[in-house]
Amino acid sequence: MKRLRTFFRRHVLWVVFFAVAIPLASILALQYRSLSKLEKTSTVAEKVWMKNYLGDVTKEVKYYYRTTAEQVLNVPAAAITGERLRNSRHLFGKCEAKGAKSLFIVSFASPGESEIFFYKPSGRGKIIEPPLAELRAANVAAAPLKMLSEERTPVQTTTVTTDERDLENRIIMKPITDDSSQVVGVAGMIIDNRYFREHYLPRAIQNSLPKFFPDDAQDNVIVTVHDGAGQLVLATQPVKGQDNETWMPVPYFQDWRIAIRSRDMTPEQWAHWNFNFNLALSVALTVVLLGGIALALRTVSHELRLSQMKTDFVSNVSHELRTPLSSIRVFGEFLKLGRVAGPEKVREYGEYVETESRRLTQLIDNILDFSKIESDRKTYQFERADVAEVVGATLKTFDVQLKQHGFGVDLRLPPGRLPVAVIDSESIAQALMNLLDNAVKYSGESKEITVRLGHRAGFITIAVTDRGIGIAREEQGKIFEKFYRVGTGLVHDVKGSGLGLALVEHIVKAHRGRVTVESEGSGRGSTFTIHLPATEGLGGHAETPQSAPILSGDSTFRFDLKR
Ligand code: ADP
């Protein structure tokens, strides 16, 4: 149980991540399944919808001609007998037969012989010489009813029928029956193909569109009508794209076919596009969500790490403060009680007290400066200065500490003079002190430190090299973070605040420079280099040798900067 708790505490971020990621992945999988189902059903639905539209148009056409015929061709049997048929001008119903070329009456009143008269679509006024083709078509259409009349077979219903044998003269007709249901004649109309094609059909097609397709979708469908010969009769838009269309025969024009298709995509393509689009949206959403969570977790993890580092910092700093303080107190007491034999020992203890107090001062300076940086209060006094001079002075202040630890420092200067730089000498000295302090702390058994001054590509460089424990490559990017301390290997034993390099970086950046680190890895030593922008003009040191070994092999440090 305890192990489980520890595991959760340690991997809490991963646990949270997976706790969100797994349900998200399941939702995505469900979404995928439902989308692919939707893809299939929406293809069918789209086709059914298109068919419904065509059904609506054809129903309109059927309704229009049927009601017109029912109203106009409503001729009573009495009206077509004898003289009345020849003279009457008002045989037909009240409506005008819009969409008809002509109306006609065939009378079977005289046995063995039928009479046929043609009228204008208004029903008022005869057509004396009807076109032969119309005459023939009307006679052919009426022939079956004539036969019924001759056989005296009664008809039960007098519904409207059609005859499309002559494609140019399609006929809608209705039998005229007497009281005993005997057929006495036929009233008919010959459909005006041109009116149907140019006026009625386009209107019917347009009227039905809004019922099935929203405004913006209407442009995406093309409705076409082809005649029996396959010729295009009309199209709502120039025909292009997929042939995959839904079609139906046109009522009263049974050889024609009315069809609908999508302009850009077939229903299958549309459904597939929709599927891909929705899936991409869901994936994008998931990625954004996971990214957001990862970012949030990263921030939390960073904060946790920072808080852990702060805790370590407090304990490290307390230790850093306590150790030198107790030594100082012990040496102070020895001196006070006169327990130190000989001036040599007094000098040694005095030096120790001085170094430890200097270290304490440096630590406290670092902390104070760091707090100033954090609250944006750190200011710099920039002046033209000779970097070599600043480096020399810093090494001089540091010599007692170096000597105590048995270190030798080799200061190497470039040939010729260094250019002048505009720097805050005190801050640069503080940065260099921190680098030197680290070089001492992390040198392990090795006791050699090299400080190289150089001038490269408009920058003055100060490089501090040690031959100590080195820094693993993956740690090199992190060591400049505040409070960060490498937590493995030998470094464990060395105390520190984790502020030194953060401070160095801040100071150098304030000078528009940069600080870099090179290390081959564990046990191979490290080189920290400060790069400061150089300005015009030359600095101090003149005939300094290219390499100036400053320290002798033993523990004595000789600082020897020639001017
Ligand atoms: P501190 O030295 O007080 O821990 P710094 O910010 O100065 O803090 O350094 C951060 C970390 O970088 C150190 O804890 C150490 O692990 C590593 N480091 C710094 N300088 C060196 C060096 N010269 N050699 C090896 N490791 C170093």
At 74-119, the pLDDT tens digits run 888 888 876 767 766 667 877 788 899 999 999 887 777 788 999 9
Higher pLDDT, 49 or 270: 49
- The residue nearest atom 13 of ligand 1, judged by CA position, is 485
Q: Which atom of ligand 1 is nearest to the CA of 499?
A: 6
Whether the per-residue pLDDT at 194 is higher than 70: the answer is yes
* 511 token code pair: 């000078």
What are the structural domain ranges in the chain? 16-65+267-322, 73-195, 213-262, 380-562
Under a CB-based contact definition with an 8 Å cutoff, are residues 313 and 299 in contact?
no
What phi and psi values does residue 319 have, to the nearest 5 degrees? -65, -45
463 Ramachandran zone, left/alpha/beta (phi>0; psi -120 to 50): beta
Task: Name the one residue in this structure whose structure tokens are 């891909």.
Answer: 276
Q: What is the mean pLDDT of residues 392-412?
A: 87
- Write the CATH number of the domain with boundaries 73-195: 3.30.450
294-316: pLDDT as tens digits:
899 889 888 888 888 888 888 88
Give the distance (Å) from ligand 1 centre to CA of residue 382. Answer: 27
- Please give the Cα distance from 473 to 215 (Å, whole number): 64
- The residue nearest atom 21 of ligand 1, judged by CA position, is 438
Which pTM does this prediction carry? 0.53
- Domains 73-195 and 380-562 belong to one CATH topology: no
Fold entry, domain 380-562: Heat Shock Protein 90 (3.30.565)
* 70 token code pair: 């029912």
- The residue nearest atom 16 of ligand 1, judged by CA position, is 486
Residue among 450, 479, 481, 499 whose CB has most ligand 1 atoms within 8 A, to mutate: 479
Give the distance (Å) from ligand 1 centre to CA of residue 299. Answer: 24
Give the distance (Å) from ligand 1 centre to CA of residue 479. Answer: 7
Under a CB-based contact definition with an 8 Å cutoff, are residues 39 and 271 in contact?
yes
Give the distance (Å) from ligand 1 centre to CA of residue 23. Answer: 43
Residue among 316, 367, 373, 442 whose CB has most ligand 1 atoms within 8 A, to mutate: 442
Give the distance (Å) from ligand 1 centre to CA of residue 554. Answer: 26
Give the distance (Å) from ligand 1 centre to CA of residue 420. Answer: 30
Q: What is the mean pLDDT of residues 122-141?
A: 91
Give the distance (Å) from ligand 1 centre to CA of residue 430. Answer: 15
The three-state (H, E, C) secondary structure of 292-331, written as one string: HHHHHHHHHHHHHHHHHHHHHHHHHHHHHHHHHHHHHHHH
Q: What is the mean pLDDT of residues 360-384?
A: 88
Q: What is the pLDDT of residue 88?
A: 67
Taking CB atoms within 8 Å and a gap of at least 24, the contacts of 161-167 are 162/252, 163/137, 164/252, 164/253, 164/254, 164/255, 165/137, 165/140, 165/141, 166/133, 166/136, 166/137, 166/140, 167/228, 167/255
Q: What is the pLDDT of residue 491?
A: 52
Mean pLDDT, the chain, whole residue set: 85
Give the distance (Å) from ligand 1 centre to CA of residue 321. Answer: 18
Residue among 370, 438, 450 whose CB has most ligand 1 atoms within 8 A, to mutate: 438
Q: What is the pLDDT of residue 492?
A: 52
Identity of the highest mean pLDDT range in 12-16, 173-177, 370-374: 173-177
Q: What is the pLDDT of residue 554?
A: 33
- The residue nearest atom 3 of ligand 1, judged by CA position, is 496
Residue among 318, 367, 437, 441 whose CB has most ligand 1 atoms within 8 A, to mutate: 441
- The residue nearest atom 7 of ligand 1, judged by CA position, is 500
Residue among 451, 497, 501 whose CB has most ligand 1 atoms within 8 A, to mutate: 501
Give the distance (Å) from ligand 1 centre to CA of residue 383. Answer: 29
Higher pLDDT, 496 or 235: 235
Q: Which atom of ligand 1 is nearest to the CA of 502?
A: 6
Confidence of residue 155 (pLDDT cuts 50, 70, 90): confident
Q: What is the mean pLDDT of residues 464-468?
A: 94
Give the distance (Å) from ligand 1 centre to CA of residue 6. Answer: 30
Q: Which atom of ligand 1 is nearest to the CA of 464?
A: 23
- Closest by CA position to 336, among listed 350, 324, 351: 350
Whether the per-residue pLDDT at 168 is higher than 50: the answer is yes
Give the distance (Å) from ligand 1 centre to CA of residue 498. Answer: 7
What phi and psi values does residue 368 have, to the nearest 5 degrees? -65, -45
Residue 463 neighbours by CB under 8 Å, 6+ apart: 450, 451, 452, 454, 527, 528, 529, 530
Please classify residue 512 by burial: count the beta carbons closer than 10 Å to its beta carbon, then call 0-12 exposed, 13-18 middle and 19+ buried. exposed
* Encoded amino acid at 304, one letter: L
Ligand 1 pocket residues where CB is under 6 Å: 434, 438-439, 441-442, 466, 468-469, 471, 479, 484-486, 491, 496-502, 526
Give the distance (Å) from ligand 1 centre to CA of residue 510. Answer: 21
